[in-house]
Structure 1
Amino acid sequence: MSINEVSSNSVLDQYRTNTSTPEKENELGRNAFLELMVAQLNNQNPLEPTDNQAFVAQLAQFSTVEGIDNLNDSADSMMSQFTSNAALQASSLVGQSVIVEGNDTGLLTSGGVVSGYVDVPASASNMMLNIKSANGQLLEQIPVGNHAQGAMSVRWDGYNLMVDGEIIELDRSQLNLEQYVYDDNGDIMLDDDGNPIERVYPPGQYEFELTGSIGGDTEQLDMQMSSRVDSVTMSATGTVTLNLTGGQRATMDQIKQILDA
């Protein structure tokens, strides 16, 4: 009887074992491969033993199978570690404000800041910041000067304006919003220190839009707006999703900028 004539039903049944990690159907794992080799050796024809070259080839195949198993274990371990690191990184963003692709409105909270971000395609002059309400109503037009090619960020608290980290001095007389808060009698309201209370835009959704002269032509640049990360969700496959204020969701690779407040 040659080695190929070994009956899988009668002989190999004694070598079948149940392991804690069952092998996938139609795949020959390391243990099954070794058991098959042992069964073949025990049941080979003594007059026609297994050829040395064939046996060495089988050993090489076993080494290959074992190497693949070890590689899979290492890959699983690396993936688990990567998933844990991603979850930890994402959880640190809860409560932070981020700017993500495709978000064209930003939420201004009481005492908070709403931010916008855009990549200016080329050097621009006479730039104007248009601040709009969520329904598209133009609220303010504020000149912000010139800007070189590259990233441009705007931060606004409903009163003060900051561009690329520098405060812009605003002429309140040029704004559409009245400068002070008045009472029912038409008198300016004062704070506890006796100073006039200046009016600011209320909390809500806002949109930033830039216009400027680029290469002699007036162009419009829509800014991507900030949202606060309320929570983080991780799927069974390890995908991390950021749940943003207002119901929007985003993945980690969609983040353009992380803000400090």
Structure 2
Amino acid sequence: MADVTGVGSSQTVLDQYAQSEKEVEKSNELGKNDFLKLLVAQMNNQNPLEPQDNTEFVAQLAQFSSVEGIDNLNNTVDDMASELRSSQALQASSLVGQSVVVPSNEYGFLQSGDLIASYSDIPATTSNVSLQIKNKSGQTLETISLGYHDKGPMSLRWDGANLEMDGEIVELDRSLLNRKEYFVDEEGNQVLDDEGKPIPVPYPVGEYKFEITASIDGKSEGVDTAMSGKVDSVTLGANNQITLNLAGGTKAPMSEVKQILN
């Protein structure tokens, strides 16, 4: 069993799949050819003085036809399942190097120039969603009010400085943030963006966790949140189960993927 360590290694996954799909003949199965041989042997060895009844012979032919039809149907279904699993293996190999959001991943690994993301399901329409960003030590770095949100899925993306909710940029009041470091030029002057605003320096590379609470019926409730992780490799295991191996050691079946980040 080999790991896929790059997008170009998709053939490795398919080779694994082909090896696991080799048919093993089972001695206790009666196929259509065996059935036909038995039928011919029965005809060759029948008593000429008491030949087989025509009705019984026709019934056996009909039974043979049923066996052949079932055998062909099984082969067709097996071929379809084989093609589906092969397609899934190829799709999984293409995820190597990309980030995915899975429920079993507690921390997102923020790399330089990259972002981390989360997926939550808000249980009811709420007047206010609150986000806490914590580091690996459990220290709360930022507490951000995100305001109103409808019942349903909510996705967040964070590059260490800027935040996006459901595809829209969140206008952060930076005077309320703990981190107030901005880029400066060689002369010590703040670097400004196209709108004339200073450009914030993002939090350093590391693991971060989002904790989300929602105000529902006057009470603050915690919301289950899945974090993103980068796919390091893909493993094809027993019964052709595809497992994604994420940076940091988390393993997740492909069926758990909530989002694939571009």
TM category (shorter chain) comes to: 0.7 to 0.9
Could you give the per-residue CA deviations for residues 143-201 of structure 1, whole angstroms, max 9, x where no partner exists?
A: 111111111111111111111111112222221123247xxxxxxx5359964574321
What is the percent sequence identity of the aligned residues? 57
Give the structure 2 partner of residue 53 of structure 1. Answer: 55
Query: Following superposition of structure 1 onto structure 2, how do residues 78-117 of structure 1 map, counting pairs within 5 Å?
Result: 78-117=80-119
Secondary structure, counterpart of 2:240 in structure 1: coil
Query: Following superposition of structure 1 onto structure 2, how do residues 111-130 of structure 1 map, counting pairs within 5 Å?
Result: 111-130=113-132
Q: Does 1:241 align with 2:259?
A: no
Could you give the per-residue CA deviations for residues 108-161 of structure 1, whole angstroms, max 9, x where no partner exists?
A: 111110111101000112322100112211111011111111111111111111
Q: Does 1:190 align with 2:185?
A: yes
Give the structure 1 partner of residue 260 of structure 2. Answer: 258
In 2: Cα distance, 1:201 partner to 1:65 partner: 67
Q: CA RMSD in A?
A: 2.1
Could you give the per-residue CA deviations for residues 11-41 of structure 1, whole angstroms, max 9, x where no partner exists?
A: xxxxxxxxxx885223222111111111111
In 1: Cα distance, 2:55 partner to 2:25 partner: 29
Give the structure 2 partner of residue 9 of structure 1. Answer: none
How far did residue 245 of structure 1 move? 1.2
How far did residue 258 of structure 1 move? 1.4
| TM norm structure 1 | 0.82
Is residue 104–residue 250 contact of structure 2 (8 Å, CA) maintained in 1?
A: no
Give the structure 2 partner of residue 16 of structure 1. Answer: none
Secondary structure, counterpart of 2:49 in structure 1: coil
* Larger RCO (CA under 8 A, 6+ residues apart): 2
Query: Following superposition of structure 1 onto structure 2, how do residues 103-252 of structure 1 map, counting pairs within 5 Å?
Result: 103-180=105-182, 190=185, 195-196=190-191, 198-235=200-237, 237-252=239-254
Give the structure 2 partner of residue 67 of structure 1. Answer: 69
Letter in 1 for 2:28: N
**Residues 23, 200 of structure 1: alpha-carbon distance in 2 compared, 3 angstrom cutoff:** closer
**Bigger CA radius of gyration:** 1
In 1: Cα distance, 2:256 partner to 2:161 partner: 29
Secondary structure, counterpart of 1:237 in structure 2: helix
Is residue 173–residue 179 contact of structure 1 (8 Å, CA) maintained in 2?
A: no
In 1: Cα distance, 2:31 partner to 2:200 partner: 74
How far did residue 240 of structure 1 move? 1.4
In 1: Cα distance, 2:158 partner to 2:78 partner: 45
Secondary structure, counterpart of 2:239 in structure 1: coil
Give the structure 2 partner of residue 39 of structure 1. Answer: 41
**Number of positions where the alignment pairs a residue of Structure 1 with one of Structure 2:** 233
| TM norm structure 2 | 0.82
